[in-house]
């Protein structure tokens, strides 16, 4: 019976997921089965397309989140039903209402009258034996209620008069009205539709970043998520007082319409109970609920935004095979320099002092010119922290004085100090101090953002809004999912990947990643994916999940340098044979007509012949045509500079190229090469209405902007993506 009930619950959940996500039931069922079997999201998205109908990783993660929520909802439904049944208070109507509830809030409303309560005014009145009187009053039949209340006087129980008995009965009525699930729902909807979020300053004379909220109100159902998070933080810092305002007389009137059925003394007591119930019990609870819902929705939106920004940052095109100089700016302690080769190996380190108070510009130039000449440096990565402006000006001057074609880029160093001081940083570079590790990290961020940034807690990377105000567990899970999807989407070189990078591969945890590195150090390069099976703790399931995402360049088989999964090697070889090719042709890049040949034979019939699905066949063809391909190579390259401007050089109407550094709910911050990012407000992104900035730009995009205004005192630059004419 239990298994039958579990199957019914699962079927109900599958149907709900299908309806909510607008995905055919069969695809949802297959995806859930694969998740329950312990498969990772990247593996399902990449290698089980036939089963899921090619659902991508983001859709699968959304499905998995809702699956967990609905399973939690059903678990709570069972707990509540069991509790009410144990109290012998379950009715067919209540059971049906519990079964119909679609949110945790609805379930908890239904459970409220039966939840074990701490001592309340209502429970105290019940202990005094006043519940029969409360029921009598609620009937509102004409009577002399004061005289009837005399029968409930009981000195031992603390009821000293008829008036005290009626007051106690009113407390019971107020609590019963408050516990009514339908009432809660009615007033929750009323408050959401008509309420206002109101904020006031605790001290209007205090200057702060929250001044726009010192006397602010906005409808509950229209307030933007970033405002909710700002208000929440202002309240937490003691600068703002926040409340939800509602038309209290109208709300109480609605309560009275529901409960008052006469016009006698009893009706007046019920009316008073309605007023007390709303102001003392219902409204404080609903205000808390609505504020919690607003925060949860705002946090969810901010997490989605942070996740998308992080995805774009991690997938920035690498500057491959370039000898790079990492420049970590500073003042008193000097600028730390690290030279790394095209593979990220450290070639040299030093410290120069071009910035105040030393201002040894000539000595710093000599040192850097020597390094550029000695190692063939072609690009310089400058951290954007303290002294970055002076460092950028110094580098720009230096580049004008040398014959070599060298360019630079200012790189976000968010989280670099976290990595440098971490156990991982110490293990990777025990010979360097913390600041030199930062210089290495800055250089490698330009060379391969993904490989370097996976070493840092995603929450420290700094491409979101109010990330410290969000539920940290939720944020961490979402960002970890993004990192996992990006790493597996790009693929990882099995013979060069760091332990942190390997630990992000599908099916591999930190201890297995450590074992892979140890095996590699002891036995030399991997030449075949099958060798992974010899790594301690990497079992058959882990191999299935990870093998397709690990690449081996110059290995025994060209297939090991593709995204073709080992389970499909036979199909890949048979495909080549059917189209008149060999693995040697694939290794030599002589498969120009492979897709044409496959399409001529008919993809559906060819897939059937090979024993695979059409989506897998298409993937195999794509991988064979571009072994070792990096999807990031198809994106526009990062914007490298050779010169620097200052804010005072900017004029309204000036056209510039810039790199999007951060996308927020109301716009995007763009690096235009003046050390101060400019803001493109959402209203300046297009001639047409833009629903959200992410519909137009992403982190890392190189875009054309025009200067709208410059405020040197406040260091603010307003930009537009709408073409402008320069001013005279």
The CATH number of residue 539's host domain is 1.10.150.310
The domain of 674 spans: 647-720
| Residues 552 and 413 reside in one and the same domain | no
Peptide bond into 661 cis (omega under 30): no
| Residues 654 and 704 reside in one and the same domain | yes
Query: Could you read off the pLDDT of 19-30 as tens digits, one per residue?
Result: 999 999 999 999
Sequence length of the chain is 728
Query: Could you read off the pLDDT of 237-268 as tens digits, one per residue?
Result: 999 999 999 999 999 999 999 999 988 999 99
The H or E element that residue 174 is part of is helix 162-179
Determine whether 227 is exposed, middle or buried from the number of CB atoms within 10 Å of its CB (0-12, 13-18, 19+): buried
For residue 254, tell me if it sits in a domain: yes
| Residues 538 and 408 reside in one and the same domain | no
Neighbours of 18 (CB within 10 A): 17
For residue 372, tell me if it sits in a domain: yes
Both tokens of residue 664?
Answer: 């927020």
Query: Does the pLDDT of residue 205 top 60, yes or no?
Result: yes
| Residues 603 and 698 reside in one and the same domain | no
Cβ 313 vs Cβ 659: under 8 Å: no
Can you give the pLDDT at residue 273?
96
- Distance between CA 651 and CA 709 in Å, rounded? 7
Query: Could you read off the pLDDT of 333-348 as tens digits, one per residue?
Result: 999 999 999 988 999 9
- Distance between CA 186 and CA 171 in Å, rounded? 21
Helices marked H in 349-387:
361-375
Helix (H, G, I), strand (E, B) or coil at 52: helix
Task: Please give the tally of structural domains in the chain.
Answer: 5
For residue 572, tell me if it sits in a domain: yes
| Residues 620 and 589 reside in one and the same domain | yes
| Residues 221 and 184 reside in one and the same domain | yes
Question: Which among 602, 634, 666 is the end of a domain?
Answer: 634
Average pLDDT, the chain: 91
For residue 484, tell me if it sits in a domain: no
| Residues 270 and 190 reside in one and the same domain | yes
- Distance between CA 622 and CA 624 in Å, rounded? 6
Query: Does the pLDDT of residue 468 top 80, yes or no?
Result: no
Average pLDDT over residues 413-433: 80
Can you give the pLDDT at residue 111?
92
Highest mean pLDDT, choosing among 136-150, 193-207, 303-317, 650-664? 193-207
- Distance between CA 550 and CA 547 in Å, rounded? 6
Average pLDDT over residues 278-306: 93
Residue 29: CATH number of its domain: 1.10.10.650
| Residues 593 and 673 reside in one and the same domain | no
| Residues 365 and 347 reside in one and the same domain | yes
For residue 675, tell me if it sits in a domain: yes
| Residues 656 and 614 reside in one and the same domain | no
Range in 168-182, 483-497, 713-727 the model is least confident about: 713-727
| Residues 656 and 628 reside in one and the same domain | no
Which DSSP string corresponds to 122-157? HHHHHHTT-HHHHHHHHHT-SS-HHHHHGGG-BTTT
For residue 475, tell me if it sits in a domain: no
Query: Does the pLDDT of residue 469 top 90, yes or no?
Result: no
Question: No. of H helices and E strands in the chain?
Answer: 31, 15
| Residues 297 and 396 reside in one and the same domain | no
Query: Does the pLDDT of residue 398 top 50, yes or no?
Result: yes
For residue 242, tell me if it sits in a domain: yes
Question: Which among 305, 339, 364 is the end of a domain?
Answer: 305
Residue 209: CATH number of its domain: 1.10.3500.10
Range in 104-118, 250-264, 466-480 the model is least confident about: 466-480
Cβ 193 vs Cβ 228: under 8 Å: no
Q: What is the pTM of this model?
A: 0.84
Query: Does the pLDDT of residue 506 top 50, yes or no?
Result: yes
Query: Does the pLDDT of residue 236 top 50, yes or no?
Result: yes
Query: Does the pLDDT of residue 616 top 60, yes or no?
Result: yes
Question: Which among 68, 84, 114 is the end of a domain?
Answer: 114
Can you give the pLDDT at residue 726?
67
- Distance between CA 533 and CA 521 in Å, rounded? 16
Can you give the pLDDT at residue 526?
96
Query: Does the pLDDT of residue 159 top 80, yes or no?
Result: yes
How many CA atoms, within 13 angstroms, populate the side-chain half-sphere of residue 727?
A: 8
For residue 394, tell me if it sits in a domain: yes
Give the CA distances from residue 508 to residues 43, 399, 537, 621, in Å, rounded to whole numbers and listed in that order.
12, 44, 10, 27
Residue 330: CATH number of its domain: 3.30.420.140
Can you give the pLDDT at residue 1?
41
Residue 709: CATH number of its domain: 2.40.50.140
CB-based contacts of 438: which residues, under 8 Å, 6+ apart?
A: 328, 336, 383, 413, 416, 417, 419, 420
């Amino acid at each position: 019976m239990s298994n039958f009930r579990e199957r019914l619950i699962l079927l109900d959940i599958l149907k709900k997921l299908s309806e909510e996500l607008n995905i055919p039931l069969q695809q949802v069922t297959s995806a859930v089965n694969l998740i329950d079997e312990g498969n990772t999201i990247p593996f399902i998205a990449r290698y089980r397309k036939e089963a899921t109908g090619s659902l991508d990783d983001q859709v699968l993660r959304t499905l998995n989140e809702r699956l967990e929520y609905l399973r939690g909802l059903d678990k709570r439904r069972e707990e509540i039903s069991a509790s009410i049944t144990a109290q012998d208070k379950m009715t067919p109507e209540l059971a049906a209402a519990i079964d119909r509830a679609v949110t945790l809030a609805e379930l908890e409303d239904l459970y409220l009258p039966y939840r074990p309560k701490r001592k309340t005014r209502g429970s105290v009145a019940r202990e005094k034996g006043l519940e029969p009187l409360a029921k009598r009053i609620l009937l509102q039949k004409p009577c002399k209620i004061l005289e009837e209340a005399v029968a409930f006087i009981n000195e031992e129980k603390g009821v000293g008069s008829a008036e005290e008995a009626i007051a106690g009965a009113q407390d019971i009525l107020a609590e019963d009205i408050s516990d009514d699930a339908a009432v809660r729902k009615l007033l929750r909807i009323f408050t959401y539709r008509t309420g206002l979020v109101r904020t006031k300053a605790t001290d209007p004379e205090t200057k702060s970043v929250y001044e726009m909220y010192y006397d602010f109100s906005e409808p509950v159902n229209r307030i933007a998520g970033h405002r909710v998070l700002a208000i929440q933080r202002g309240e937490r810092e003691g600068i703002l007082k926040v409340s939800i305002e509602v038309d209290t007389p109208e709300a109480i009137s609605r309560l009275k319409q529901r409960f008052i059925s006469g016009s006698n003394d009893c009706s007046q007591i019920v009316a008073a109970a309605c007023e007390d119930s709303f102001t003392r019990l219902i409204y404080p609870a609903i205000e808390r609920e609505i504020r919690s819902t607003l925060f949860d929705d705002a946090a969810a939106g901010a997490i989605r935004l942070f996740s998308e920004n992080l995805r774009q940052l991690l997938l920035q095109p690498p500057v491959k095979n370039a000898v790079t100089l990492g420049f970590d700016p500073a003042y008193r302690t000097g600028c730390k320099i690290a030279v790394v080769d095209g593979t990220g190996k450290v070639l040299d380190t030093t410290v120069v002092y071009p910035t105040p108070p030393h201002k040894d510009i000539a000595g710093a130039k000599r040192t850097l010119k020597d390094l550029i000449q000695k190692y063939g440096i072609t690009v310089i990565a400058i951290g954007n922290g303290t002294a970055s402006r002076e460092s950028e000006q110094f580098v720009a001057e230096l580049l004008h004085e040398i014959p070599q074609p060298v360019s630079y880029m200012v790189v976000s160093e968010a989280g670099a100090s976290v990595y440098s001081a971490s156990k991982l940083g110490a293990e990777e570079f025990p010979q360097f101090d913390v600041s030199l590790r930062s210089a290495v990290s800055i250089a490698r961020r330009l060379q391969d953002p993904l490989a370097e940034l996976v070493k840092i807690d995603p929450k420290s990377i700094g491409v979101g809004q109010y990330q410290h105000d969000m539920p940290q567990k939720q944020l961490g899970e979402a960002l970890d999912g993004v990192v996992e999807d990006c790493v597996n989407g790009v693929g990882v070189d099995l013979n060069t990947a760091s332990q942190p990078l390997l630990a992000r591969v599908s099916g591999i945890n930190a201890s297995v990643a450590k074992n892979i590195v140890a095996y590699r150090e002891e036995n030399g390069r991997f030449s075949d994916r099958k060798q992974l099976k010899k790594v301690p703790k990497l079992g058959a399931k882990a191999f299935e999940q990870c093998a397709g995402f690990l690449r081996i360049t110059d290995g025994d088989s060209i297939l090991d340098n593709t995204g073709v999964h080992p389970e499909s090697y036979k199909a890949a070889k048979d495909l080549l044979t059917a189209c008149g090719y060999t693995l040697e042709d694939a290794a030599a890049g002589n498969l120009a007509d492979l897709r044409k040949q496959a399409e001529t034979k008919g993809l559906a019939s060819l897939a059937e012949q090979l024993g695979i699905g059409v989506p897998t066949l298409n993937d195999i063809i794509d991988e064979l045509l571009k072994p070792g391909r990096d999807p990031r190579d198809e994106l526009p390259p990062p914007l490298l500079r050779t010169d620097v401007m200052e804010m005072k050089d900017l004029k309204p109407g000036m056209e510039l190229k810039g790199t999007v550094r951060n996308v927020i709910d109301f716009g995007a911050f763009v690096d235009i090469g003046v050390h101060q990012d400019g803001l493109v407000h959402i209203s300046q992104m297009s001639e047409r209405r833009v629903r959200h900035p992410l519909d137009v730009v992403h982190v890392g995009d190189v875009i054309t902007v025009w200067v709208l205004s410059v405020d040197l005192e406040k260091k603010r630059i307003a930009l537009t993506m709408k073409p402008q004419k320069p001013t005279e």
